[in-house]
Structure 1
């Protein structure tokens, strides 16, 4: 009989997260997969067309059974975001009480909010089965940065919730080595934590340049950013950097293509206009993930960015693997893990997070490289990706954890 994995992920198809592909791969490997998720509303903040409290609450995607529990859409305000987080947990609690699903493992895909892990932990305790947690965002650190909340009682309460989740998970996977250490610093035994980096889906592969309607076919040097446009990305650095490049007479020679949507997009557009650099920006609506490699192929360089914060220095953004898999040179405004990877791979250039002058400098540096030098840099990125983020090696590694009987002994200690 096929083993049954219950995946708890507040975001799932048609929302674009890597858990969609992970679940698809598990189905290919012969697992039965059921996903407990919310009604899709990320990142726009409202329900996707065709979905709602009374529409499309169950679905099958690539052989994966999807159950959508009610939640409040995230909206555009902090209050709505809080209600979004809370409503998923409350719906998950009721679901846990009444569900007749009997799974063999629980796998929690934890991007913010970590509160989404609670229904998975509670279900695993109820059924006395192994519970795996895949940490993409560190809490409570992420809460302090995104919301600005510093009240020690609130952060302390969130910290206790995080510790409860870590305690009641049998195995914790982290997307960066720095995350492994940060989780261990909360008192979690290191042997319970493993580095399991993200990979890119199979369609992220080098493409031949072709004419696309979104990006003008001209002699301008194209830099592309793809993905969520939120506060954490720190994209406010780009208008200031563009201003600096414009002063160096590069306004009509460099273009920033911003592909995506998010809570910060409107502010970014306004800042671009305020800095008088609109001619250097091309805003492209959110695209299906499968189209991203095609857009990357029509640009010289990919850009990734994070705000200047110790937490983000520990983070490896998922887009980095996507860019590298496509064999495109990467420039980054960041600290820590991302810079280490770009340095080791020789697949791109980086500047300190938040430093627009240094970012302008590396953009000029890469702008002045020959096509052959750019091609070599992109090839280096692709080679590093294959050697370090190979999807099939990582999925086989996960199988070894599922096959292990050692965790069941630990379960008694945790649940007791």
Structure 2
């Protein structure tokens, strides 16, 4: 009989998260997979077309059975976001009480909010089965950084919830070594925590240089950013950097191609316009993930950045693996492990988070490198990816926990 994994993930297909691929791979490896998720609304904040409280509440995707419980869409303000988080937990509680599903394991894919783990923990306790937690975002640290709330009573309450979840999980997997160390400091035994880095889907791979309609084919040095445009990404550094690049009056046109959507996108566009650098920016609507390698192939380098904070210094963003898998030179404005990986792999250039002046210098220097030099950096990126984030090896490691 197939082992049955219940995956709890507030975000799932058609929302673009790596758990989609993990579940697809588990089906291929002979597991039965059921996903408990919400009604898709990320990052736009409203239900996707064709989905709703009375539409597509059950669905099959790549052999995965999807169960969608009611939740309030994220909207575009803090109150709606809080209701979104709360509604998933409330719906998950009632689902746990009435569901007849029997599973062998619970696997919780935890990107914010951590609250989404509660239905999974409750279900595992009820069925007396192992509960695995995959930590993508650290709480309560993430709440403090994103919301700016520092009230000790509020943060302390969230901390107690986090400790409750950690204590009731059989195993905790983390996306970075720094996350592992941080969780240990909360009193969780080291042997209970395992570093299990993210991998990129198979369609992220190097392809020959091409031209695409969305990116002008001229003599510009094209830099791509692809993904969610939120506050955590720290993209406000780019207009500041563009101003500094212009000030240097170099005979090299540089263009930032921003592909994606998110809560900060409109503010970023306004920031670009007010800084008078709109000629250096090309905003492209959100694209299917499978198209992103084409955008990489039409670009000279890929950009990632994180907000300047101790929390994000511990974070390895998923797009780092995507960029490396595509074999493209990387420009990073980030601290901690991300910075270390760029330097260790010799896959591009990196500067401290928030340092626009240093970033502008790095971009200027990179833009004058030869095709062969850029190709070498891209090769280094893919080589490091193959050695460090190999999908097959990582999935084999996870199989041992489903024995």
Structure 1 length-normalised TM: 0.96
Alignment partner, residue 320 of structure 2: 320
CA–CA distance in 1 between the matches of 2:378 and 2:369? 12
Measure, in 2, the Cα distance between the counterparts of 1:177 and 1:371. Answer: 34
* Counterpart in the other structure of 1:393: 393
Q: Which moved more, 1:204-213 or 1:350-359?
A: 204-213
Partner of 2:106: 106
Equivalent residue number for residue 408 of structure 1: none
> Per-residue deviation at 1:252?
6.5
Does the 8 Å contact 2:133/2:172 carry over to 1? Answer: yes
CA distance in 2, matches of 1:157, 1:251: 55
Mapped to 2, the partners of 1:151 and 1:349 lie a distance apart of 38
Distance 2:250 2:351 in 1: 19
Find out whether 1:243 has 2:216 as its counterpart: no
Aligned twin of 1:188: 188
Q: Matches of 1:365 and 1:278 in 2, distance apart?
A: 22
Q: Alpha-carbon deviations, 1:291-341, whole Å to 9, x = none?
A: 000000000000000010000000000000000000000000010010110
User: What CA distance in whole angstroms lies between the structure 2 residues aligned with 1:257 and 1:30?
Assistant: 40
Query: Are the aligned partners of 1:252 and 1:280 in contact in 2 as well (CA < 8 Å)?
Result: no
Q: Is the 8 A contact 2:351 2:358 kept in 1?
A: yes
Instruction: Spell out the pairing of 1:109-120 with structure 2 (5 A cutoff).
Output: 109-120=109-120
Asked if the contact 1:251–1:279 (Cα under 8 Å) also holds between the matched residues in 2, the reply is no
1:203-249 CA-to-partner distances (Å, cap 9, x unmatched) read 00001122211101111100000000000000000001000111122
Supply the distance in 1 between the matched residues of 2:289 and 2:57 (Cα, whole angstroms): 23
Aligned residues: 403
- Residue 256 of structure 2 corresponds to residue 265 of structure 1: no
The Cα offsets for residues 119-149 of structure 1, whole Å up to 9 and x where unpaired, read as 0000000000000000000000000001111
Contact 2:258–2:282 (Cα < 8 Å) also in 1: yes
Superposition TM-score, scaled by structure 2 size: 0.99
| Displacement after TM superposition at 1:251 (Å) | 8.4
Q: Match of 1:238, SS? A: helix
The reply to whether residue 57 of structure 1 matches residue 57 of structure 2 is: yes
Aligned partner of residue 169 in structure 2, secondary structure: coil
Alignment of 1:46-125 (within 5 A): 46-125=46-125
Q: Which ranges of structure 2 fall in alignment gaps of 5 or more residues? A: none
* Distance across 1 between alignment mates of 2:224 and 2:180: 31
CA distances 1:6-55 after superposition (whole Å, capped 9, x unpaired): 00000000000000000000000000000000000000000000000000
Residues 248-397 of structure 1 mapped to structure 2, 5 A cutoff: 248-250=248-250, 253-397=253-397
> How has the CA–CA distance of structure 1 residues 92 and 344 changed in structure 2, closer, same or farther, with 3 Å as cutoff?
same
Measure, in 2, the Cα distance between the counterparts of 1:37 and 1:172. 20
- Structure 2 distance, partners of 1:354, 1:255, is 20
Structure 2 CA distance for aligned equivalents of residues 281 and 95 of structure 1: 46
State how far apart, in whole Å, the 2-side matches of 1:337 and 1:300 are.
24
CA distance in 2, matches of 1:225, 1:251: 23
DSSP-derived class of the 1:210 partner:
coil
Of residues 240-249 and 29-38 in structure 1, the stretch that sits farther from structure 2 once superposed is: 240-249
The Cα RMSD (Å) is: 0.7
After TM superposition, give the deviation of residue 258 of structure 1 in Å: 0.2
Unaligned runs of 5+ in 1: 404-416
